[in-house]
Amino acid sequence: MAKAASDQKLVSVFVCGVQKGGTTSLHAHFLEHPALSGAKKKELHFFDKEKRNWTNTRYKKLHEAFPADDGDRLRFDITPIYGYWPSAIERIAAYNPKAKLIYLFRDPFERAWSQYCMEYARKKETLPFAAAIRGGRERLSEVGALAPKQRIYSYLERGFYGAQVRRVLESFPREQLLFLKSDEFAKDHAATLAKIAAFLKIPPFPASAAKRKNARSVAKTEGLVPPTEEDRALVAALVHDDLVEFAKLTGLDVSNWPSAKVA
């Protein structure tokens, strides 16, 4: 796997997940910080592209996505699927082993339901939620780990956070990783931003109101059948062991998460 040239300015901050965990709102705050340099769009999807030649990678397109005159500002890429997609983290490590990675984790059940609502609104999902998290998972077992369906129907699979943390710890030292909870970000965004600023060793974020991005469109989700307690219990049972490991690896207290309480 090719490495970026030493004379190129590298992307040094990656927000790698999780999808539907508040990363779009976080992106809005990042854009306001004078020490951070964002790309032309939020999700670059550079390191999860399977059609790219990863044996002789060129990073020109990645670097062209950023302002050429951003000086000493830290370049960041917020693409939530990086934490879930096989090989993405390894590719980031090969590109910039000194990069710092940030994760926003959300309760697995709440995250799964939010993703389902998004795919339903996009008309990519036709199954009821109850079916999608049961027999619907066969759509993924029948394809490879890199298949396009993994991007759409991975409602429960993306919630196995322990496995994702193990993966990133194989490529990066712990001091280059920051694990956060999206519910704490939503409750006190200033405190979360202060942790991020300290982690990145940049000045505090400008004082601003909380950002609420990607709010669900009611018009696009008409006909949705709300999840049941049985659905919640099913997800909690499936992620229980992984959630225990996740808490140990990250040091995060997830006892207030619905999935942990149901389990």
Residue 223's CATH number: 3.40.50.300
Element (H, E) at 245: helix 229-250
Supply the pLDDT for residue 216: 53
Supply the pLDDT for residue 117: 94
Place of tokens 């979360």: 192
Provide the sign of the torsion angle of the four alpha carbons 71, 209, 21, 178, taken in this order.
Answer: positive
**146 in any annotated domain:** yes
36, 74 contact by CB (below 8 A): yes
**30 in any annotated domain:** yes
For the record, the structure tokens of 109 come out as: 């059940």
* 3-class secondary structure, 145: coil
Task: Find the angle CA(54)-CA(64)-CA(60) to the nearest 5 degrees.
Answer: 30
**7 in any annotated domain:** no
**177 in any annotated domain:** yes
Residue-level pLDDT, tens digit, the chain, 263 residues: 455 444 589 999 999 999 999 999 999 999 999 999 999 899 999 999 999 999 989 999 999 999 999 999 999 999 999 999 999 999 999 999 999 999 999 999 999 999 999 999 999 999 999 999 999 999 999 899 999 999 999 999 999 999 999 999 999 999 999 999 999 999 999 999 999 999 999 999 999 888 876 655 555 667 788 999 999 999 999 999 999 999 999 999 999 999 997 65
| Distance of alpha carbon 104 from alpha carbon 24, whole angstroms | 11
- 203 is in which domain, residue-wise? 13-262
**31 in any annotated domain:** yes
| Distance of alpha carbon 46 from alpha carbon 204, whole angstroms | 29
> How many distinct structural domains can be found in the chain?
1
Element (H, E) at 75: strand 74-78
**239 in any annotated domain:** yes
Supply the pLDDT for residue 222: 74
**5 in any annotated domain:** no
**1 in any annotated domain:** no
Q: Whole-model pTM above 0.85?
A: yes
| Distance of alpha carbon 62 from alpha carbon 106, whole angstroms | 28
| Distance of alpha carbon 144 from alpha carbon 85, whole angstroms | 12
Backbone angles phi, psi at 43, to 5 degrees: -100, 110
189, 29 contact by CB (below 8 A): yes
